[in-house]
Structure 1
Amino acid sequence: MQEEPAIERNKKIKASSWKQLSTLTHRSFVNMHRDIGYYWIRMALYVLISISIGILFFNIGTDHGTILERAKCVCFAYGFMICLSCGGLPFFIEEMKVFRRERFGGDYGEAVLVLSNFFSSFPYLVVISLLSGTIIYYMVKFHPGFPHHAFFCINLFCCLSVIETCMMIVASLVPNVLMGIGIGTGVIVFMMMASEIFRPVPDLPKFFWRYPVSYISFATWAIQGEYKNEMIGLEFDPLLPGNSKLKGETVLQTVFGVPLSHSKWWDLTALVFILLTHRLVLYMALKYKDRIASKFPRLHANKTLQHIVMRVSKAGERLSSSKRHDPQHSLSSQEGLRSPIP
């Protein structure tokens, strides 16, 4: 009798990390390109808002009254650009659903998703930053010079990248879109409150808002860097005719309270560091969320079981206590019953 050949199970061949990264990056890029709501509609909205800002602050000039107008234009531009980035949250939530299913199958890990998302969204964010930054910069007539224009676009790109990462962190933690929009918008507004968009940093309450929120807020570093990029080197007309012109450095220190102890490039470096920190937080959220969440049902079940045991034990104590304190009556003393013994 011949022995039947042993049937070996098909083992799943795991691709290399580079192959996983390249494949997932290409797939994510194709999805972004095909889905009109992912970046294309948002890109159109960015351009329309940039044109609107350029019309409102067209050719702002260097009069004394334009000092505050320049600051308002910077805050207005960054504030709207930041808020528009919340529109990508529904697509991130769908991407998280696909990721959980494929991670469960062992196709790739958390680090691959974090890197692939950054690489696939990089060209779109660059285009948005260049289009919006160029339209605003040349219509408003900000500080002339290509280095200033380049800083404006790079600073805007880093800001949008941080917001995209924040939205992905929220998408990885919330169960639905409505909760994600509420939490994501709240986090962004909370970070913006500790920046010059609403109040100068020196005027913020020192406890909590200035230390440490203003230091961990991406909007603080972005606005400060753009203020320095815009004001340093400019001269504004004096308030009274005949007086000397106001230097941009003096305006930064006296009007806006922006420190000049470090350059705008340090502000940009801090913004890049915040971006990397947010990506690390995203990786930690993807990696450990399910592990932490899996402990809560067990904890809840243990507490429920302990509560039931305590209730049963207390009910038993009350029952035994009531029996112990109840008076003992003979059968003959009970109404309707007589003792059988004469």
Structure 2
Amino acid sequence: MSSIHHPCPPRACDYEARKNFRAGGRGLEIETATLRVEETTRRKKMKKSDDIDGGEEKGIWLTWKDVWVTASNTTGRKKKKENINNANGSRRKTILGGLSGYAKPGQLLAIMGPSGCGKSTLLDTLAGRLRSNTRQAGEILINGHKKALAYGTSAYVTQDVTLLTTLTVGEAVYYSAQLQLPDTMSKEQKRERAEFTMREMGLQDAINTRIGGWGFKGISGGQKRRVSICIEILTRPRLLFLDEPTSGLDSAASYYVMSRIASLDRKDGIQRTIIASIHQPSTEVFQLFDNLCLLSSGRTVFFGPASAASEFFASNGFPCPALQNPSDHFLKTINKDFDDNQDIELGLAGTQRKPTEEAIEILVKSYKSSDLNRQVQAEVAALCTQGNGMVEKKKKRGHASFHTQCIVLTKRSFVNMRRDVGYYWLRLVIYVGVALGLATVFYDLGMSEGSIKDRAALLAFVSSFITFMTIGGFPSFVEDMKVFQRERLNGHYGVTAYVIGNTLSSIPYLLLVSLIPGAIAYYLPGLQKTVEHFIFFCSVLFSCLMLVESLMMIVASIVPNFLMGIITGAGLQGIMILAGGFFRLPNDLPRIFWKYPLHFVAFHRYAYQGLFKNEYEGLRIAGKSGEYILRSIWQVNMSYSKWVDLAILLGIIVVYRVMFFSIIKAIEKLCS
């Protein structure tokens, strides 16, 4: 893709390096022959997995012609150049204005421009990821057709690196391989594909290193970026989109990441069409580009071979100074954010200067009338009419079955929860401390008159505070949701598989969190000591914990900011605790809102009633029967058993999980 020489990864260069540096005639020949056999065997394995995964497919020619994108103008600005009228007379902001271009197999197209010029919007438009508040016009064709691509044919690497920080590099890529690759491939073939892909991106030395996050150091930012790319190219996509792949990286890391991307074709022979939006590449990175699309305020300033950009700017009076990075010069010339403080030098001597806005107009008009633009239009027209055929449809491609997805997601989530201290372990320590405090304060309640109130206070505190503390795991929920949203957008698996996997993996930890603190808080104060009563107590506690986790998943899907999510979750639980029927008895609650409907919606009502029935039924305290205490003092509904209360709690869990599923589906529909 580029004539620049890049150092090969250790595994790729193994053959040449060992051939050149090992001495000894006959020994060298034997070693060389052995290495050739190893390399041939490895490539045969990859070829076999390719055949199972769908075989050879045609390259992808992507073309776009006269593409416009507008969005609702929420800022209230009235600048004519930023707005157009639609059929209803309302004003909308123009983000992209009549862009045309193409991307060919085996080439890297870079989309460049200053901040806010429309780079990411153009990338999202070509990838079909525009938001629901935008409107698109124009023609985007794939191999001369408007048909959708089959699964695994294209991939999108987002700007934000969203990975499960507790996994190692090898685990992250292998779990993704199990989720994305079809069941017709064996586990060994999937592992081989994962290892080969990691070698492609130069990650072979970091396979057993954790990705890392808060609390522990892991791999570098550049390596995380390459892991993200690895995950998305497991299906061997012919069309690869990358949004700011060098964002947040230093120049060395940026070059290494981009050189790996540019050299993908040389590693596996797949003619990929690669489109990347990039902000400010170094000179070395710029030399990796085959074609360049330069934007300013949503308009094309230049489109063509990256090597011809400097000549184009020079011919219009904006030559790149000697020893200066060309990309820096281009962006400085077309960046009008600081137009009041700078003018652009004209000519080599720099004796004439023009405002940036005027420089942009010169370049835009010059490009429209240039041979470059005519070549682009002719190329687009030729690619649209020649009809290179459509990429093979899903009959030759597919992802893992629903059953496999559920198993893999359960395993991955279980490992993540086990390693993430903030998910359950920190809460378990806090719960044990709180349970010891409860056992100390309520130790040996006895059967006095005062124990009637004390027992209820203990049970209400357990079911309220311990479940309330579930919001402590909300940051981990949010990180999980970010990974889920990225993988869901790229079609790795469905919402149902995620909900099932998350639910099954959390059950062992919730049981542990329920049993250990529950035993301390139950037996030391002297509550009913039969096994049946203790099992019911822990069952209610377990149900409440899972129920609140389900509620926080709903909050995380709507409020991705973890601080706002914690506030929202705490507020919802606080309101439900007030309406639960302990701090204010059911008959004393205001009828409007608090009793109808909130008292019957709040899960605390059923937790309180179930725990109270479990404790007071069969007891006689200070001459009062347990049934009398429940009816007259705590106003508990005795028309059904405690097991019905438990069943209602389990039913609310199902309702919350279904709500989470429905919200995710609704958000997807709105964003599509």
Which amino acid is the alignment partner of residue 13 of structure 1? Answer: G
Q: 2:476 aligns with which of 76, 91, 102?
A: 91
Q: 1:115 aligns with which of 471, 492, 500?
A: 500
Name the residue aligned to 1:199: 584
The secondary structure found in structure 2 opposite 1:184 is helix
Name the residue aligned to 2:284: none
Name the residue aligned to 1:185: 570
Name the residue aligned to 2:668: 290
Alpha-carbon distance, 1:13 to partner: 2.7
In 2, distance between residues paired with 1:202 and 1:112? 43
Alignment of 1:1-342 (within 5 A): 7-8=57-58, 12-237=397-622, 245-292=623-670, 294=671
Using CA pairs under 8 Å that are at least 6 residues apart, name the structure with larger relative contact order, 1 or 2: 1
CA contact (8 A) 2:620 2:626 kept: yes
Q: 1:7 to 1:251 in 2, by over 3 A?
A: closer
- Greater per-residue helix proportion: 1
In 2, distance between residues paired with 1:289 and 1:186? 23
CA contact (8 A) 1:28 1:120 kept: yes
Q: Could you tell me the TM-score, scaled by structure 2's length? A: 0.41
Instruction: Give the number of aligned pairs.
Output: 283
Q: Could you tell me the TM-score, scaled by structure 1's length? A: 0.80
In 2, distance between residues paired with 1:37 and 1:150? 27
Alpha-carbon distance, 1:143 to partner: 1.6
Alpha-carbon distance, 1:215 to partner: 1.2
The secondary structure found in structure 1 opposite 2:524 is helix
The secondary structure found in structure 1 opposite 2:445 is coil
CA contact (8 A) 2:579 2:598 kept: yes
CA contact (8 A) 1:152 1:226 kept: yes
In 1, distance between residues paired with 2:574 and 2:499? 24
Alpha-carbon distance, 1:7 to partner: 4.2
Unaligned 5+ segments in structure 1 are 1-5, 238-244, 296-342
In 1, distance between residues paired with 2:397 and 2:434? 50
1:83-135, Cα deviation, whole Å (9 max, x unpaired): 11001110111111101110111111111111111111100000111112111
Which amino acid is the alignment partner of residue 268 of structure 1? Answer: L
Which amino acid is the alignment partner of residue 639 of structure 2? Answer: S
In 2, distance between residues paired with 1:129 and 1:30? 20
1:295-329, Cα deviation, whole Å (9 max, x unpaired): 9xxxxxxxxxxxxxxxxxxxxxxxxxxxxxxxxxx
In 1, distance between residues paired with 2:489 and 2:657? 22
Q: Give aligned-pair identity as a percent.
A: 41
In 2, distance between residues paired with 1:82 and 1:180? 16
Which amino acid is the alignment partner of residue 252 of structure 1? Answer: L
In 1, distance between residues paired with 2:560 and 2:449? 51
Which amino acid is the alignment partner of residue 531 of structure 2? Answer: F
- Greater per-residue strand proportion: 2
Name the residue aligned to 2:296: none
Which amino acid is the alignment partner of residue 44 of structure 1? Answer: V
The secondary structure found in structure 2 opposite 1:197 is coil
In 1, distance between residues paired with 2:457 and 2:516? 20
In 1, distance between residues paired with 2:576 and 2:667? 23
